[in-house]
C-alpha cells in the first residue's frame, strides 16, 4: 500500500529505564487549545524566542507534565526538533547505529529504529498514554547525543478532548574545563588535497599521534548541528602511540563543520580536530525543463505530496533524480524513464520526519546529460505524531510514469570512491 494510505490510529506505551531526574526548572507555554497546560522540568534554564525556558544537555533527562486534560484520556506526546522535524518519543529515546539498517527493536513485530545522527529516518510511532483521574500526565524522557542543539517544541494532545498544549525546551552544549590532550595530536584531512575540508563523497584520513602504545582509541564525530555519531570501529594505537584510519563523508551527511574527537581509553588523552564539509556543485546544462506542478506556488506543509514534471529530455532515457535538503544533505530517489516525448512525472511525499525549509529537486538525463533543478518549500505541518509512519525513507515516491517506487540512494556523482572504510570497493565504470 502507498505510504500515505497506510496510516492508522496507533496507541502505544513504551517503557523506558531512565536515570533519576536532574534539577527542577519548570516552564510552561500557552496552551494551543484552551484548558491544556504543559510544563517542562529540565536540569537548567535556557532561552527560546526571548523567553526563559527549561533546558538540558545531551545524555541527561527532563520531565514533561501535562495538566487539565480529561480524566483517563489518551494523550499523545510529540517533539518538534529545531529544524522542524516532528518525531515521537518512541524513536527519539534510543539510538541505532544506522536507521537504514535492520532495527534492533521490535514493537508488535514491527521494526523500530532510533536516531543515527545522520539520516534520522525511523518509523515514527506515536507515544500515547492515559492521564490520571485528575487529568494529569507526567513522564521523564532522555536527551540522547543524537539530539541537535537548539530550541524544541513539545506538544501534548488529548485524544478525546482535542485539548492541546505546547512548551519549549532548549538543548545546550555542555561547558566545562577543556579535556586533557596530553602529548596527543589529531589531524583530519581530505585524502586528495590534504586540506581540512572537502566535498560530499570525500575520502578523509584521520591521523593520531602521542597516545599510549597499543591502547584502544574511541572516536566520535559531532555534526554541525551538535548531534553525535560514532566512528564505525575503535582503532588500536601502534607501539609508538599513533593510528591512521579512513572515513567517508557521503551524500547523506549535511554540510558544515564537523568535530572529530579521539580519546585514548587508557591514557585519557582527548583531542579534537575539525573538518569543513561542502556540497558538490551541480551545474545546469541543456534545455530540459523541470517544474513543481502541484501545489502551486511550490510550497506545502509536511505531509504534502508534491508533483514534479520534467520535459525535453531524450525519448526513453533514464533520468536520475535526487533532492538536496535544507541542511545540504542529499537524498536519492528512484531513477525515472522519460516517455517517447522525453517527459516524466513523479509524486513525492515529504512527511514530518523531514526538516522544514527549501529543497532543490534535481534531474539529470543519462544520455542527454541535461541537468535541471527546481525548488520547493516545505513548511511546518501537524505538530502531533498521532499516526504511525511506515519505515520507508523519505522523500518517498508515491507514483510516477515509470512505476518505480523504491528509493535507490544517492545519484552516481554523489557516491564516494569507496563503499566502506573497512573493506574498500572500487567502482567499475
Q: Are 131 and 244 in a shared domain?
A: no
Q: Which residue, among 344, 367, 364, has the nearest Cα to 410 in the 3D structure? A: 364
Contact 391, 113 (CB under 8 A): yes
Q: How wide is the angle at C-alpha 118 spanned by C-alphas 374 and 216, nearest 5°?
A: 150
Q: Are 162 and 192 in a shared domain?
A: no
Q: Are 319 and 374 in a shared domain?
A: yes
Q: Are 260 and 163 in a shared domain?
A: no
Q: Are 305 and 410 in a shared domain?
A: yes
pTM score of the predicted model: 0.84
Tell me the CA distances in angstroms from 194 to 34, 129, 144, 262, 424, one per residue in order: 59, 53, 33, 19, 20
Q: What is the mean pLDDT of each run of 10 residues along the chain (429 residues)?
A: 33 29 40 73 94 95 96 97 96 69 55 78 89 96 95 97 96 90 97 94 95 96 93 93 94 94 96 96 93 95 95 93 92 88 94 95 93 96 86 78 60 40 31
Domain that holds residue 26: 3-172
End residue of a domain, out of 231, 247, 278: 278
End residue of a domain, out of 145, 172, 199: 172
Q: Is residue 344 part of a domain?
A: yes
Q: Is residue 342 part of a domain?
A: yes
Give me the CATH number covering residue 195: 2.60.40.1930
pLDDT at 178: 87
Q: Are 261 and 404 in a shared domain?
A: no
Q: Are 244 and 323 in a shared domain?
A: no
C-alpha grid cell for residue 176?
A: 566545562
| Neighbouring C-alpha atoms within 13 Å toward the C-beta of 309 | 10
Q: Are 386 and 336 in a shared domain?
A: yes
End residue of a domain, out of 246, 278, 310: 278
Q: Are 28 and 117 in a shared domain?
A: yes
pLDDT at 104: 52
Q: Is residue 320 part of a domain?
A: yes
Q: Is residue 406 part of a domain?
A: yes
How far is residue 86's CA from residue 154's CA, in Å, rounded to a whole number? Answer: 9
Q: How wide is the angle at C-alpha 352 spanned by C-alphas 147 and 38, nearest 5°?
A: 65
Q: Are 165 and 16 in a shared domain?
A: yes
pLDDT at 73: 96
Q: Are 199 and 156 in a shared domain?
A: no
Q: Are 242 and 298 in a shared domain?
A: no
pLDDT at 420: 31
What's the domain count of the chain?
Answer: 3
DSSP for 41-62 reads EESEEEEETTEEEEEEETTEEE
Amino acid at each position: 500500500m502507498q505510504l500515505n494510505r497506510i496510516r492508522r490510529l496507533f496507541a502505544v506505551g513504551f517503557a523506558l529505564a531512565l536515570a533519576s531526574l536532574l534539577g527542577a526548572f519548570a516552564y510552561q507555554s500557552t496552551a494551543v487549545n484552551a484548558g491544556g497546560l504543559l510544563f517542562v522540568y529540565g536540569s537548567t534554564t535556557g532561552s527560546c524566542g526571548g523567553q526563559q525556558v527549561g533546558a538540558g544537555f545531551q545524555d541527561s533527562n527532563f520531565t514533561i507534565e501535562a495538566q487539565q486534560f480529561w480524566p483517563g484520556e489518551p494523550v499523545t506526546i510529540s517533539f518538534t526538533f529545531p529544524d522542524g522535524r516532528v518525531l515521537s518519543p518512541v524513536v527519539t529515546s534510543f539510538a541505532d547505529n544506522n536507521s537504514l539498517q535492520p532495527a534492533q527493536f521490535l514493537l508488535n513485530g514491527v521494526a523500530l529504529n532510533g536516531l543515527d545522527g545522520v539520516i534520522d529516518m525511523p518509523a515514527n510511532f506515536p507515544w500515547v498514554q492515559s492521564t490520571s483521574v485528575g487529568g494529569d500526565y507526567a513522564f521523564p524522557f532522555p536527551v540522547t547525543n543524537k539530539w541537535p542543539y537548539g530550541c524544541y517544541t513539545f506538544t501534548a494532545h488529548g485524544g478525546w478532548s482535542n485539548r492541546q498544549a505546547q512548551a519549549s525546551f532548549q538543548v545546550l552544549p555542555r561547558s566545562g574545563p577543556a579535556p586533557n590532550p596530553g602529548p596527543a595530536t589529531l589531524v583530519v584531512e581530505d585524502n586528495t588535497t590534504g586540506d581540512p575540508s572537502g566535498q560530499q563523497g570525500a575520502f578523509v584520513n584521520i591521523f593520531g599521534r602521542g597516545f599510549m602504545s597499543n591502547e584502544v582509541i574511541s572516536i566520535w564525530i559531532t555534526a554541525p548541528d551538535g548531534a553525535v555519531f560514532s566512528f564505525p570501529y575503535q582503532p588500536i594505537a601502534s607501539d609508538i602511540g599513533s593510528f591512521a584510519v579512513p572515513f567517508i563523508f557521503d551524500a547523506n551527511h549535511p554540510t558544515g563543520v564537523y568535530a572529530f574527537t579521539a580519546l585514548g581509553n587508557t591514557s585519557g588523552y582527548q583531542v579534537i580536530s575539525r573538518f569543513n564539509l561542502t556540497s558538490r556543485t551541480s551545474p545546469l546544462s541543456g534545455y530540459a525543463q523541470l517544474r513543481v506542478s502541484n501545489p502551486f506556488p511550490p510550497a506545502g506543509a509536511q505531509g504534502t505530496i508534491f508533483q514534479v514534471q520534467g520535459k525535453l529530455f531524450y525519448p526513453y532515457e533514464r533520468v536520475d533524480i535526487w533532492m538536496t535538503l535544507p541542511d545540504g544533505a542529499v537524498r536519492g530517489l528512484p531513477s525515472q524513464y522519460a516517455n517517447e516525448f522525453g517527459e516524466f512525472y513523479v509524486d513525492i511525499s515529504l512527511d514530518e520526519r523531514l526538516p522544514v525549509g527549501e529543497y532543490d529537486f534535481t534531474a539529470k538525463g543519462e544520455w542527454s546529460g541535461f541537468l535541471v533543478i527546481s525548488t520547493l518549500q516545505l513548511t511546518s505541518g501537524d505538530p502531533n505524531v498521532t499516526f504511525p509512519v511506515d519505515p520507508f525513507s523519505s522523500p518517498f515516491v508515491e507514483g510516477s510514469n515509470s512505476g518505480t517506487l523504491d528509493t535507490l540512494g544517492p545519484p552516481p556523482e554523489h557516491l564516494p570512491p569507496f563503499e566502506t572504510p573497512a573493506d574498500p570497493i572500487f567502482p567499475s565504470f
